[in-house]
Structure 1
Amino acid sequence: MAALEPASPAAEAAGEGEVGEEREPGLRAGWAGAVLGAALLAALVASVCLGSSDVPLGDVWSSVVRGVGGQEPVPGTRDLIVWRLRVPRALLAAVVGAGLGLVGTAVQALVRNPLADPYLLGISSGASLGAVAAIVLGAGAGGLLGLGLSTAAFLGALASFALVWFMARRGGGFSPLRLVLAGVGIGQFLSGFTHYLVLQAGDDQQTHGVLFWMMGSLGDAQWSTLTLPVAAVLLGLAALLARARALDALLMGDETAAGLGVDVVRLRRELFVVTSVLTGVLVSVSGAIGFVGLMVPHVCRMVVGGAHRRLLPVAALFGAVLLVVVDLVARTALPDQELPVGVVTALIGAPTLLYLLDRRLERG
């Protein structure tokens, strides 16, 4: 696959050591981080306050204080709605959005293609197959072989990861083309099984549940589901930041990166492991939410440039803000009906993608 390299990351990586070139993008990154942090707080508050029944900000604050203090819900109040339902859902949306922003940024560097997204490598197809198998073949709430939905999805993601790794490593290479072809091929293969299982769903309600999950949903958010994705996103951010300069070099081409002392094959292996595991964790708790990992890196590069030391934290913040807002829209856009999160991201992401493609064509 031909590398479609954005000029800005490579150009900034080349000038990484010069103070004059770093000052302005660094200042913009600081301002962007502050603005996005404030926007995230505002989005979280709005997400908890607004819904099928709006909750006043004062009641939200009281419920959160009682929840943080470990107090039991007060009868006659909205503690259950706020602390048990809306707060964990809003936080899960922020965590998943941050993770998708990180993975999208890393995958675009991994395969040197700005049109890549977190689901390009086939991991989400394995997660979807595991989740659908748990829903369709599982008996009762225990799911397939006693596995819960998230566990089955994560195991499916790991199985897909193993298959892609095996195919990408055949012949001793680990090139972007081999990774993409292996990921797309195995993803399509697993998607075929997933669609077959959907056709075997026993009733309309079961089919609706499967399709709703496959299009992305945060409706099952609980406090217990936050631990793993929070840990995965924090560890993923730390791992990617530790390789920020190597990622900058990788965007300039394998030969240039190798000349700068980067072990390209090893770096791609590490990036593939980090992005695959993080994608598997995110899909297991939210389903496949498209376009976030594609849009976020592009928008953030326009603001802070392409150097990954700045780009990764800003992409995580912007992804968090975006998905919290999208989830709020999905819950409140239609009366008495909740839209799949993936439907809203597609309605936003498709025009954004066309706009980005148009900009690239105008620049030649």
Structure 2
Amino acid sequence: MKTRMFYPLRLGPLSLLLRPAALMLCALLTACVLLAATVGVTRGSLPVPGAAILRMLLYPGEGAAQQQFIVWDIRLPRMLMGLLCGAMLGMAGAAMQSITRNGLADPGLIGVKEGTSAVVLTLIIAFPSLGLIWRPVAGMAGGLLAAALVICLARDVSRPRFILVGIGVSWAFSAAIGVFITTADIRDVQTALVWLAGSLHAATWSLLGITAFWGLAGGVALYATARASDAALLGDEAATGLGVRLRALARLRFAAPVLMTAVCVACVGSLGFVGLIAPHMTRFALRGGQVSLLSGSALLGALLVLVADNVGRLALAPLQIPAGIVMALIGGPFFLLLLWRRRDQL
């Protein structure tokens, strides 16, 4: 008996093809994300039982004051920020690779991360009295500036030169950050180094709200243009014949990942390689269009960041290693492997 690979789902004028295998895999990834989130909230210098956390969630105000502070003010914002930033970075990488048709494309590898970091550091040091809401705004401006500079220099986002130019721009911004670190006050340098390493320890409910707002806006834009992006992968002539506005699509599908990445960097620092690894792992495990790719990349990105944060926080306790450093240890060899596999195309 032959099994059906697709099941149509219709809601009024909307229709969607569901793949049981993809749904099962996404359900498994969701379970892994929930498990990593549970470990992040319950484990630490003061273990808190899951039953106690459940009571705090259902009946706020109950439980020991110390446990309430640790769970509500430290671990929950940290866990949710890691989940949200991982999902945003995974989706950003998937969209960037699709629109550039380059498997090495990642907003963190084309100078967005360093451009955002340079502008946010300037804001923190020069204007310390400004509220947190201005940090993502400044970060987005820096990220867009870096991305625009790379596009102007590379001229073609679909060729490997785009990534090489992006790496060069990244080093230029890194040099500016290095000048700051060597000349600034030692107290400012310590704060900057912890933030630049990609640590989630400073996550707060206010920063989480800002990140969620921009993440939702970017996610809606990417999912709304998913079908048009699938058509664009067929070629410019076919996509134009299907009514796709290629210029508008390219601008939106490029700007949304850059903004999402810039917001993540502005709020928690550098979490590199998430947008590079998650889409590749999704393509290996899932087949389908942009909706499947975005969903799988979001789940895998969230899982990667949560696991990296848990490892960095618990492996050498009480010493804590920022999640960005753990991700760099994983992502560096992964990036070199991709370069080796594409050595004849560069």
Partner residue in 2 for 1:93: 82
SS of 1:102's partner is helix
Rate the CA distance shift 1:35–1:359 in 2: closer, same or farther, 3 A.
Answer: farther
Residues 128 and 153, structure 1, Cα contact 8 Å, conserved in 2? no
Partner residue in 2 for 1:286: 268
SS of 1:114's partner is coil
1-side partners of 2:136 and 2:217: how far apart?
A: 20
Partner residue in 2 for 1:212: 194
Rate the CA distance shift 1:359–1:159 in 2: closer, same or farther, 3 A.
Answer: closer
SS of 1:119's partner is helix
Partner residue in 2 for 1:13: none
CA displacement, residues 193-250 of structure 1 (integer Å, 9 cap, x when unaligned): 22111111212x5323322211211111111111121222222222111211222233
2-side partners of 1:239 and 1:158: how far apart?
A: 19
2-side partners of 1:220 and 1:113: how far apart?
A: 34
Residues 105 and 276, structure 2, Cα contact 8 Å, conserved in 1? yes
Partner residue in 2 for 1:350: 332
Rate the CA distance shift 1:180–1:350 in 2: closer, same or farther, 3 A.
Answer: closer
SS of 2:108's partner is coil
2-side partners of 1:274 and 1:243: how far apart?
A: 11
Deviation at 1:150, TM superposition (A): 6.7
Residues 164 and 182, structure 1, Cα contact 8 Å, conserved in 2? no
SS of 1:220's partner is coil
Partner residue in 2 for 1:3: none
> Does 2:23 match 1:30?
yes
Partner residue in 2 for 1:12: none
Q: Which runs of 5+ in 2 are unaligned?
A: 8-16
Matched residue count: 331
**Identity of paired residues, percent?**
35
Q: Which runs of 5+ in 1 are unaligned?
A: 1-18, 139-143
CA displacement, residues 302-345 of structure 1 (integer Å, 9 cap, x when unaligned): 11125112111121112112211111111111122111211111
Partner residue in 2 for 1:249: 231
Deviation at 1:62, TM superposition (A): 2.3
Residues 254 and 264, structure 1, Cα contact 8 Å, conserved in 2? yes
> Does 2:314 match 1:332?
yes
Rate the CA distance shift 1:344–1:184 in 2: closer, same or farther, 3 A.
Answer: closer
Residues 126 and 153, structure 1, Cα contact 8 Å, conserved in 2? no
Rate the CA distance shift 1:77–1:292 in 2: closer, same or farther, 3 A.
Answer: same
2-side partners of 1:27 and 1:333: how far apart?
A: 37
| TM-score after normalising by structure 1 | 0.80
Partner residue in 2 for 1:238: 220
CA displacement, residues 66-100 of structure 1 (integer Å, 9 cap, x when unaligned): 33xxx3x7555411001111011101100000001
Residues 108 and 273, structure 2, Cα contact 8 Å, conserved in 1? no
Residues 132 and 198, structure 1, Cα contact 8 Å, conserved in 2? no
| TM-score after normalising by structure 2 | 0.84
Partner residue in 2 for 1:201: 184
1-side partners of 2:99 and 2:242: how far apart?
A: 17
Give the counterpart of 1:310 among 292, 301, 306.
Answer: 292
Rate the CA distance shift 1:114–1:211 in 2: closer, same or farther, 3 A.
Answer: same
Give the counterpart of 2:42 among 39, 49, 52.
Answer: 49
> Does 2:83 match 1:102?
no
SS of 1:78's partner is helix
2-side partners of 1:42 and 1:257: how far apart?
A: 41
2-side partners of 1:182 and 1:151: how far apart?
A: 29
Letter in 2 for 1:57: G
2-side partners of 1:213 and 1:312: how far apart?
A: 28
SS of 1:226's partner is helix
Q: Which has the higher mean CA deviation after the structures are superposed, 268-277 or 103-112?
A: 268-277
CA displacement, residues 262-318 of structure 1 (integer Å, 9 cap, x when unaligned): 322221111122112111111111111111110000111111125112111121112
